[in-house]
Structure 1
Protein backbone atom coordinates (compact mmCIF):
# COMPACT_ATOMS: atom_id res chain seq x y z
CA UNK A 1 0.00 0.00 0.00
CA UNK A 2 1.48 3.42 -0.92
CA UNK A 3 2.45 5.48 2.09
CA UNK A 4 0.19 8.36 1.12
CA UNK A 5 -2.91 6.18 1.63
CA UNK A 6 -2.01 5.72 5.29
CA UNK A 7 -2.09 9.46 5.86
CA UNK A 8 -5.39 10.21 7.60
CA UNK A 9 -5.38 13.80 6.37
CA UNK A 10 -4.68 13.22 2.71
CA UNK A 11 -5.11 16.29 0.51
CA UNK A 12 -8.47 15.04 -0.78
CA UNK A 13 -9.86 15.34 2.76
CA UNK A 14 -7.75 18.08 4.37
CA UNK A 15 -7.95 18.84 8.06
CA UNK A 16 -10.14 21.96 8.38
CA UNK A 17 -8.04 23.04 11.36
CA UNK A 18 -5.09 23.74 9.07
CA UNK A 19 -6.95 26.45 7.15
CA UNK A 20 -8.52 27.80 10.35
CA UNK A 21 -5.16 28.15 12.08
CA UNK A 22 -3.67 29.75 8.98
CA UNK A 23 -6.45 32.34 8.83
CA UNK A 24 -6.33 33.05 12.57
CA UNK A 25 -2.56 33.38 12.71
CA UNK A 26 -2.33 35.50 9.57
CA UNK A 27 -5.03 37.85 10.87
CA UNK A 28 -3.05 38.50 14.04
CA UNK A 29 0.56 38.31 12.81
CA UNK A 30 -0.01 40.25 9.59
CA UNK A 31 -3.08 42.46 10.07
CA UNK A 32 -4.76 44.38 7.28
CA UNK A 33 -3.07 47.58 8.46
CA UNK A 34 0.32 46.39 7.22
CA UNK A 35 1.49 48.43 4.19
CA UNK A 36 1.80 45.44 1.85
CA UNK A 37 -1.53 43.77 2.68
CA UNK A 38 -3.37 45.47 -0.19
CA UNK A 39 -0.71 44.47 -2.72
CA UNK A 40 -0.71 40.86 -1.54
CA UNK A 41 -4.51 40.65 -1.60
CA UNK A 42 -4.67 42.26 -5.02
CA UNK A 43 -1.98 39.92 -6.39
CA UNK A 44 -3.84 36.83 -5.21
CA UNK A 45 -7.18 38.10 -6.51
CA UNK A 46 -5.85 39.19 -9.90
CA UNK A 47 -3.97 35.90 -10.37
CA UNK A 48 -7.16 33.91 -9.76
CA UNK A 49 -9.15 36.13 -12.11
CA UNK A 50 -6.51 35.62 -14.80
CA UNK A 51 -6.95 31.86 -14.56
CA UNK A 52 -3.61 31.03 -12.96
CA UNK A 53 -3.45 27.71 -11.08
CA UNK A 54 -3.52 27.77 -7.29
CA UNK A 55 0.16 26.93 -6.86
CA UNK A 56 1.37 29.99 -4.96
CA UNK A 57 2.82 29.69 -1.47
CA UNK A 58 0.49 30.15 1.49
CA UNK A 59 0.58 33.54 3.27
CA UNK A 60 2.52 32.10 6.21
CA UNK A 61 5.07 30.48 3.90
CA UNK A 62 5.51 33.68 1.90
CA UNK A 63 6.08 35.70 5.04
CA UNK A 64 8.47 33.11 6.46
CA UNK A 65 10.64 33.35 3.34
CA UNK A 66 10.54 37.14 3.51
CA UNK A 67 11.46 37.20 7.20
CA UNK A 68 14.35 34.83 6.57
CA UNK A 69 15.73 37.23 3.98
CA UNK A 70 15.41 40.06 6.48
CA UNK A 71 17.15 38.29 9.34
CA UNK A 72 19.88 36.97 7.03
CA UNK A 73 20.49 40.40 5.53
CA UNK A 74 19.81 39.19 1.99
CA UNK A 75 20.11 41.95 -0.59
CA UNK A 76 19.86 39.86 -3.78
CA UNK A 77 17.50 36.90 -4.16
CA UNK A 78 16.57 34.55 -6.98
CA UNK A 79 13.26 32.80 -7.61
CA UNK A 80 12.64 29.99 -10.10
CA UNK A 81 8.93 29.92 -10.92
CA UNK A 82 7.20 33.29 -10.69
CA UNK A 83 3.59 32.26 -11.36
CA UNK A 84 1.58 35.41 -10.53
CA UNK A 85 4.27 37.03 -8.41
CA UNK A 86 2.73 36.36 -4.99
CA UNK A 87 5.94 35.11 -3.37
CA UNK A 88 7.87 37.87 -5.12
CA UNK A 89 5.60 40.51 -3.60
CA UNK A 90 6.18 39.01 -0.16
CA UNK A 91 9.95 38.94 -0.56
CA UNK A 92 10.34 42.45 -1.96
CA UNK A 93 7.65 44.29 0.01
CA UNK A 94 8.86 42.94 3.36
CA UNK A 95 12.47 43.81 2.48
CA UNK A 96 12.79 47.32 1.02
CA UNK A 97 16.50 46.78 0.34
CA UNK A 98 16.08 43.48 -1.49
CA UNK A 99 16.46 43.03 -5.23
CA UNK A 100 14.86 39.94 -6.74
CA UNK A 101 15.32 38.16 -10.06
CA UNK A 102 12.40 35.83 -10.78
CA UNK A 103 12.17 33.40 -13.71
CA UNK A 104 8.94 32.36 -15.41
CA UNK A 105 8.58 30.10 -18.46
CA UNK A 106 4.87 30.65 -19.20
CA UNK A 107 4.25 33.94 -21.09
CA UNK A 108 0.76 34.35 -19.63
CA UNK A 109 1.99 33.82 -16.08
CA UNK A 110 4.85 36.25 -16.66
CA UNK A 111 2.45 38.88 -18.00
CA UNK A 112 0.15 38.53 -15.00
CA UNK A 113 3.12 38.70 -12.64
CA UNK A 114 4.38 41.88 -14.28
CA UNK A 115 0.93 43.45 -13.89
CA UNK A 116 0.82 42.47 -10.21
CA UNK A 117 4.34 43.68 -9.50
CA UNK A 118 3.76 46.94 -11.37
CA UNK A 119 0.60 47.55 -9.35
CA UNK A 120 2.62 46.96 -6.19
CA UNK A 121 5.30 49.41 -7.34
CA UNK A 122 7.94 46.70 -7.41
CA UNK A 123 8.46 45.84 -11.09
CA UNK A 124 11.78 46.68 -12.69
CA UNK A 125 11.52 47.59 -16.35
CA UNK A 126 12.27 50.20 -18.99
CA UNK A 127 9.59 52.49 -17.60
CA UNK A 128 10.46 51.78 -13.97
CA UNK A 129 14.21 51.20 -13.61
CA UNK A 130 13.93 51.92 -9.89
CA UNK A 131 11.84 48.76 -9.41
CA UNK A 132 13.43 45.93 -7.45
CA UNK A 133 11.87 42.83 -9.03
CA UNK A 134 13.12 41.73 -12.44
CA UNK A 135 10.91 39.20 -14.24
CA UNK A 136 12.92 37.13 -16.72
CA UNK A 137 10.82 35.14 -19.14
CA UNK A 138 12.15 31.86 -20.51
CA UNK A 139 13.00 28.25 -19.76
CA UNK A 140 14.61 28.11 -16.34
CA UNK A 141 17.59 25.95 -17.32
CA UNK A 142 18.52 28.38 -20.09
CA UNK A 143 17.96 31.49 -17.99
CA UNK A 144 19.86 30.09 -15.01
CA UNK A 145 22.81 29.19 -17.23
CA UNK A 146 22.86 32.73 -18.59
CA UNK A 147 22.58 34.27 -15.13
CA UNK A 148 25.41 32.06 -13.90
CA UNK A 149 27.65 33.36 -16.66
CA UNK A 150 26.76 36.95 -15.72
CA UNK A 151 27.42 36.33 -12.04
CA UNK A 152 30.75 34.64 -12.69
CA UNK A 153 31.74 37.49 -15.02
CA UNK A 154 30.96 40.01 -12.28
CA UNK A 155 28.03 41.52 -14.18
CA UNK A 156 25.55 40.52 -11.46
CA UNK A 157 25.75 40.32 -7.70
CA UNK A 158 25.80 36.89 -6.09
CA UNK A 159 22.54 35.82 -4.48
CA UNK A 160 21.94 35.30 -0.79
CA UNK A 161 18.71 33.31 -1.13
CA UNK A 162 17.14 31.12 -3.81
CA UNK A 163 13.55 29.89 -3.90
CA UNK A 164 12.88 27.06 -6.37
CA UNK A 165 9.19 26.52 -7.08
CA UNK A 166 8.97 25.31 -10.67
CA UNK A 167 8.59 21.95 -12.41
CA UNK A 168 9.92 19.27 -10.08
CA UNK A 169 11.62 17.08 -12.68
CA UNK A 170 14.53 19.52 -12.96
CA UNK A 171 14.84 20.31 -9.24
CA UNK A 172 18.41 19.06 -8.91
CA UNK A 173 19.59 20.79 -12.09
CA UNK A 174 18.06 24.05 -10.89
CA UNK A 175 19.72 23.50 -7.51
CA UNK A 176 23.15 22.92 -9.07
CA UNK A 177 22.97 26.01 -11.28
CA UNK A 178 21.72 28.17 -8.42
CA UNK A 179 24.47 26.94 -6.12
CA UNK A 180 27.12 28.38 -8.43
CA UNK A 181 25.63 31.87 -7.97
CA UNK A 182 25.47 32.01 -4.19
CA UNK A 183 27.29 33.92 -1.52
CA UNK A 184 28.78 31.76 1.26
CA UNK A 185 26.29 30.42 3.83
CA UNK A 186 23.25 31.14 1.69
CA UNK A 187 20.01 29.16 1.53
CA UNK A 188 18.35 27.33 -1.35
CA UNK A 189 14.72 26.45 -0.61
CA UNK A 190 13.04 23.91 -2.90
CA UNK A 191 9.27 23.95 -2.49
CA UNK A 192 6.71 21.13 -2.70
CA UNK A 193 9.12 18.23 -2.17
CA UNK A 194 6.96 16.25 0.28
CA UNK A 195 4.14 15.76 -2.25
CA UNK A 196 1.50 14.76 0.33
CA UNK A 197 3.89 12.11 1.68
CA UNK A 198 4.77 10.59 -1.69
CA UNK A 199 8.40 11.60 -1.19
CA UNK A 200 8.89 8.53 1.04
CA UNK A 201 6.91 6.13 -1.18
CA UNK A 202 9.79 4.49 -3.04
CA UNK A 203 7.38 2.66 -5.34
CA UNK A 204 5.95 5.91 -6.65
CA UNK A 205 7.60 6.60 -10.02
CA UNK A 206 5.74 9.81 -10.87
CA UNK A 207 8.34 12.08 -12.53
CA UNK A 208 7.58 14.97 -10.18
CA UNK A 209 7.93 12.75 -7.11
CA UNK A 210 11.17 11.31 -8.48
CA UNK A 211 12.48 14.82 -9.10
CA UNK A 212 11.78 15.73 -5.48
CA UNK A 213 13.35 12.55 -4.19
CA UNK A 214 16.44 13.20 -6.32
CA UNK A 215 17.06 16.69 -4.95
CA UNK A 216 16.59 15.52 -1.35
CA UNK A 217 18.89 12.52 -1.76
CA UNK A 218 21.62 14.36 -3.65
CA UNK A 219 21.56 17.45 -1.43
CA UNK A 220 22.07 15.15 1.54
CA UNK A 221 25.18 13.61 -0.03
CA UNK A 222 26.68 16.76 -1.52
CA UNK A 223 29.77 18.20 0.22
CA UNK A 224 29.28 21.74 1.45
CA UNK A 225 25.50 21.41 1.84
CA UNK A 226 23.61 20.95 5.10
CA UNK A 227 19.91 20.40 4.46
CA UNK A 228 16.64 19.55 6.16
CA UNK A 229 13.16 18.72 4.88
CA UNK A 230 10.42 20.60 6.73
CA UNK A 231 6.90 19.19 6.45
CA UNK A 232 4.14 21.79 6.38
CA UNK A 233 0.37 21.97 6.72
CA UNK A 234 -1.73 25.01 5.90
CA UNK A 235 -4.64 26.06 3.74
CA UNK A 236 -2.44 24.64 0.94
CA UNK A 237 -2.88 21.20 2.58
CA UNK A 238 0.06 18.85 3.34
CA UNK A 239 3.46 19.35 1.73
CA UNK A 240 6.90 20.64 2.68
CA UNK A 241 10.16 22.05 1.41
CA UNK A 242 13.87 21.33 1.31
CA UNK A 243 15.89 23.95 3.18
CA UNK A 244 19.57 23.75 2.24
CA UNK A 245 22.41 25.87 3.60
CA UNK A 246 25.27 26.07 1.09
CA UNK A 247 28.67 26.86 2.58
Structure 2
Protein backbone atom coordinates (compact mmCIF):
# COMPACT_ATOMS: atom_id res chain seq x y z
CA UNK A 1 0.00 0.00 0.00
CA UNK A 2 2.97 2.27 0.49
CA UNK A 3 3.88 2.43 -3.20
CA UNK A 4 0.42 3.50 -4.48
CA UNK A 5 0.28 6.13 -1.74
CA UNK A 6 3.72 7.39 -2.68
CA UNK A 7 2.76 7.53 -6.35
CA UNK A 8 -0.40 9.46 -5.56
CA UNK A 9 1.63 11.91 -3.51
CA UNK A 10 4.05 12.41 -6.40
CA UNK A 11 1.12 12.99 -8.77
CA UNK A 12 -0.43 15.55 -6.47
CA UNK A 13 2.92 17.31 -6.08
CA UNK A 14 3.39 17.23 -9.85
CA UNK A 15 -0.03 18.84 -10.29
CA UNK A 16 0.97 21.54 -7.82
CA UNK A 17 4.20 22.08 -9.76
CA UNK A 18 2.25 22.37 -13.02
CA UNK A 19 -0.23 24.88 -11.62
CA UNK A 20 2.22 27.05 -9.68
CA UNK A 21 2.34 30.54 -11.21
CA UNK A 22 6.11 30.87 -10.76
CA UNK A 23 6.67 27.93 -13.11
CA UNK A 24 4.90 29.71 -15.99
CA UNK A 25 7.19 32.72 -16.24
CA UNK A 26 10.88 33.49 -16.58
CA UNK A 27 13.65 31.80 -18.58
CA UNK A 28 13.05 28.43 -16.92
CA UNK A 29 9.24 28.56 -16.98
CA UNK A 30 7.07 26.24 -19.04
CA UNK A 31 6.46 28.70 -21.92
CA UNK A 32 10.22 29.26 -22.38
CA UNK A 33 10.99 25.54 -22.16
CA UNK A 34 8.21 24.69 -24.62
CA UNK A 35 9.47 27.34 -27.06
CA UNK A 36 13.00 25.93 -26.84
CA UNK A 37 11.69 22.39 -27.32
CA UNK A 38 9.67 23.37 -30.38
CA UNK A 39 12.65 25.29 -31.72
CA UNK A 40 14.90 22.22 -31.64
CA UNK A 41 12.13 20.18 -33.28
CA UNK A 42 11.38 22.66 -36.07
CA UNK A 43 15.08 23.18 -36.85
CA UNK A 44 15.68 19.43 -37.10
CA UNK A 45 12.61 18.80 -39.27
CA UNK A 46 13.45 21.65 -41.67
CA UNK A 47 17.05 20.48 -42.10
CA UNK A 48 15.91 16.88 -42.52
CA UNK A 49 13.37 17.96 -45.14
CA UNK A 50 16.09 19.66 -47.19
CA UNK A 51 17.59 16.21 -47.75
CA UNK A 52 14.62 13.88 -47.37
CA UNK A 53 12.19 15.64 -49.72
CA UNK A 54 14.43 15.67 -52.84
CA UNK A 55 15.56 12.08 -52.19
CA UNK A 56 12.04 10.84 -51.46
CA UNK A 57 10.49 12.59 -54.47
CA UNK A 58 13.23 11.42 -56.85
CA UNK A 59 13.03 7.82 -55.67
CA UNK A 60 9.24 7.81 -55.44
CA UNK A 61 8.68 9.31 -58.88
CA UNK A 62 11.22 7.13 -60.65
CA UNK A 63 10.20 3.99 -58.71
CA UNK A 64 13.90 3.07 -58.64
CA UNK A 65 15.82 2.21 -55.49
CA UNK A 66 12.75 2.41 -53.25
CA UNK A 67 13.53 -0.87 -51.48
CA UNK A 68 17.08 0.21 -50.69
CA UNK A 69 15.99 3.64 -49.44
CA UNK A 70 13.28 2.13 -47.22
CA UNK A 71 15.77 -0.40 -45.86
CA UNK A 72 18.22 2.38 -44.95
CA UNK A 73 15.39 4.42 -43.40
CA UNK A 74 14.33 1.41 -41.33
CA UNK A 75 17.89 0.88 -40.14
CA UNK A 76 18.20 4.55 -39.17
CA UNK A 77 15.10 4.24 -37.00
CA UNK A 78 16.89 1.59 -34.95
CA UNK A 79 19.82 3.87 -34.09
CA UNK A 80 20.01 4.67 -30.35
CA UNK A 81 19.35 8.38 -29.97
CA UNK A 82 21.24 8.91 -26.73
CA UNK A 83 24.18 6.90 -28.06
CA UNK A 84 24.34 9.02 -31.23
CA UNK A 85 24.07 12.22 -29.22
CA UNK A 86 26.94 11.21 -26.95
CA UNK A 87 29.06 10.04 -29.88
CA UNK A 88 28.62 13.26 -31.84
CA UNK A 89 29.19 15.44 -28.77
CA UNK A 90 32.52 13.73 -28.09
CA UNK A 91 33.81 13.27 -31.65
CA UNK A 92 32.64 16.36 -33.53
CA UNK A 93 34.82 19.49 -33.43
CA UNK A 94 33.40 21.83 -30.78
CA UNK A 95 30.75 19.22 -30.06
CA UNK A 96 31.07 19.80 -26.33
CA UNK A 97 31.41 23.59 -26.39
CA UNK A 98 28.62 24.06 -28.97
CA UNK A 99 26.12 21.36 -27.99
CA UNK A 100 23.54 22.54 -30.53
CA UNK A 101 25.66 20.96 -33.30
CA UNK A 102 25.56 17.33 -32.09
CA UNK A 103 21.99 17.75 -30.85
CA UNK A 104 20.75 19.02 -34.21
CA UNK A 105 22.64 16.36 -36.16
CA UNK A 106 21.15 13.63 -33.97
CA UNK A 107 17.62 14.93 -34.36
CA UNK A 108 18.06 15.41 -38.12
CA UNK A 109 19.06 11.78 -38.51
CA UNK A 110 16.08 10.79 -36.38
CA UNK A 111 13.73 12.94 -38.48
CA UNK A 112 15.03 11.86 -41.89
CA UNK A 113 14.01 8.20 -41.68
CA UNK A 114 10.22 8.57 -41.23
CA UNK A 115 10.13 11.54 -43.59
CA UNK A 116 11.82 9.72 -46.46
CA UNK A 117 9.80 6.58 -45.79
CA UNK A 118 6.54 8.56 -45.81
CA UNK A 119 7.34 10.27 -49.11
CA UNK A 120 8.38 7.06 -50.87
CA UNK A 121 5.36 5.22 -49.45
CA UNK A 122 3.13 8.05 -50.67
CA UNK A 123 4.34 7.73 -54.24
CA UNK A 124 4.10 3.95 -54.00
CA UNK A 125 0.45 4.28 -52.96
CA UNK A 126 -0.40 5.93 -56.30
CA UNK A 127 -1.76 3.35 -58.74
CA UNK A 128 0.73 2.66 -61.50
CA UNK A 129 -2.09 2.60 -64.07
CA UNK A 130 -3.01 6.18 -63.17
CA UNK A 131 0.53 7.36 -63.87
CA UNK A 132 0.71 5.39 -67.12
CA UNK A 133 -2.63 6.82 -68.23
CA UNK A 134 -1.42 10.36 -67.56
CA UNK A 135 1.78 9.69 -69.48
CA UNK A 136 -0.16 8.19 -72.41
CA UNK A 137 -2.45 11.26 -72.41
CA UNK A 138 0.57 13.48 -73.03
CA UNK A 139 1.32 14.73 -69.55
CA UNK A 140 4.92 15.80 -69.02
CA UNK A 141 6.87 14.29 -66.14
CA UNK A 142 6.51 17.57 -64.25
CA UNK A 143 2.74 17.53 -64.78
CA UNK A 144 2.54 13.91 -63.66
CA UNK A 145 4.51 14.78 -60.53
CA UNK A 146 2.63 17.95 -59.58
CA UNK A 147 -0.90 17.20 -60.85
CA UNK A 148 -1.19 13.45 -60.31
CA UNK A 149 1.35 11.90 -57.96
CA UNK A 150 1.77 14.59 -55.32
CA UNK A 151 -1.97 15.27 -54.83
CA UNK A 152 -2.74 11.55 -54.55
CA UNK A 153 0.29 10.85 -52.35
CA UNK A 154 -0.26 13.89 -50.09
CA UNK A 155 -2.12 12.11 -47.24
CA UNK A 156 0.59 9.46 -46.92
CA UNK A 157 3.35 12.06 -47.19
CA UNK A 158 1.76 14.18 -44.46
CA UNK A 159 1.44 10.97 -42.43
CA UNK A 160 5.21 10.55 -42.73
CA UNK A 161 5.71 14.18 -41.70
CA UNK A 162 3.37 13.60 -38.76
CA UNK A 163 5.36 10.58 -37.62
CA UNK A 164 8.61 12.50 -38.11
CA UNK A 165 7.55 15.57 -36.09
CA UNK A 166 6.01 13.64 -33.21
CA UNK A 167 9.02 11.31 -32.98
CA UNK A 168 11.47 14.21 -32.88
CA UNK A 169 9.29 16.17 -30.46
CA UNK A 170 9.10 13.25 -28.05
CA UNK A 171 12.82 12.50 -28.31
CA UNK A 172 14.15 16.07 -28.14
CA UNK A 173 14.20 15.79 -24.34
CA UNK A 174 17.58 14.03 -24.67
CA UNK A 175 19.33 17.24 -25.75
CA UNK A 176 19.22 18.38 -22.11
CA UNK A 177 21.70 15.56 -21.47
CA UNK A 178 24.44 17.69 -23.07
CA UNK A 179 23.40 20.98 -21.48
CA UNK A 180 20.73 22.37 -23.82
CA UNK A 181 17.30 23.60 -22.76
CA UNK A 182 13.81 22.45 -23.60
CA UNK A 183 11.46 20.32 -21.56
CA UNK A 184 14.20 17.76 -21.03
CA UNK A 185 15.68 20.13 -18.44
CA UNK A 186 12.81 19.28 -16.11
CA UNK A 187 13.70 15.60 -16.35
CA UNK A 188 17.49 15.98 -16.10
CA UNK A 189 17.47 18.65 -13.37
CA UNK A 190 14.72 16.86 -11.47
CA UNK A 191 16.64 13.59 -11.54
CA UNK A 192 19.81 15.30 -10.34
CA UNK A 193 18.12 16.43 -7.12
CA UNK A 194 15.58 13.58 -6.92
CA UNK A 195 12.72 16.00 -7.50
CA UNK A 196 10.31 13.42 -8.91
CA UNK A 197 7.25 15.71 -9.05
CA UNK A 198 9.22 18.04 -11.34
CA UNK A 199 10.11 15.06 -13.54
CA UNK A 200 6.50 13.91 -13.69
CA UNK A 201 5.35 17.44 -14.54
CA UNK A 202 7.92 17.61 -17.33
CA UNK A 203 6.85 14.24 -18.71
CA UNK A 204 3.18 15.30 -18.66
CA UNK A 205 3.94 18.48 -20.61
CA UNK A 206 6.00 16.56 -23.19
CA UNK A 207 3.15 14.07 -23.67
CA UNK A 208 0.54 16.84 -23.90
CA UNK A 209 2.64 18.78 -26.42
CA UNK A 210 3.22 15.69 -28.57
CA UNK A 211 -0.50 14.84 -28.53
CA UNK A 212 -1.47 18.41 -29.46
CA UNK A 213 0.94 18.49 -32.40
CA UNK A 214 -0.16 15.02 -33.49
CA UNK A 215 -3.82 16.07 -33.50
CA UNK A 216 -2.96 19.20 -35.49
CA UNK A 217 -1.06 17.22 -38.13
CA UNK A 218 -3.83 14.60 -38.20
CA UNK A 219 -6.24 17.39 -39.15
CA UNK A 220 -3.84 18.51 -41.89
CA UNK A 221 -3.59 14.93 -43.13
CA UNK A 222 -7.39 14.71 -43.40
CA UNK A 223 -7.55 18.10 -45.12
CA UNK A 224 -5.14 17.11 -47.91
CA UNK A 225 -6.99 13.88 -48.70
CA UNK A 226 -8.04 14.35 -52.33
CA UNK A 227 -11.70 14.25 -53.26
CA UNK A 228 -10.81 14.74 -56.90
CA UNK A 229 -7.57 15.78 -58.54
CA UNK A 230 -8.43 18.33 -61.17
CA UNK A 231 -8.75 16.85 -64.65
CA UNK A 232 -8.56 13.13 -65.10
CA UNK A 233 -5.23 11.78 -66.37
CA UNK A 234 -7.03 10.48 -69.45
CA UNK A 235 -8.14 13.97 -70.51
CA UNK A 236 -6.02 16.24 -72.72
CA UNK A 237 -3.38 18.16 -70.78
CA UNK A 238 -3.94 21.83 -70.16
CA UNK A 239 -1.54 24.31 -71.67
Shorter-chain TM-score above 0.5: no
TM-score, with structure 2 as normaliser? 0.22
Larger helix fraction of residues: 2
Larger strand fraction of residues: 1
Larger relative contact order (CA 8 Å, sep ≥ 6): 2
TM-score, with structure 1 as normaliser? 0.21
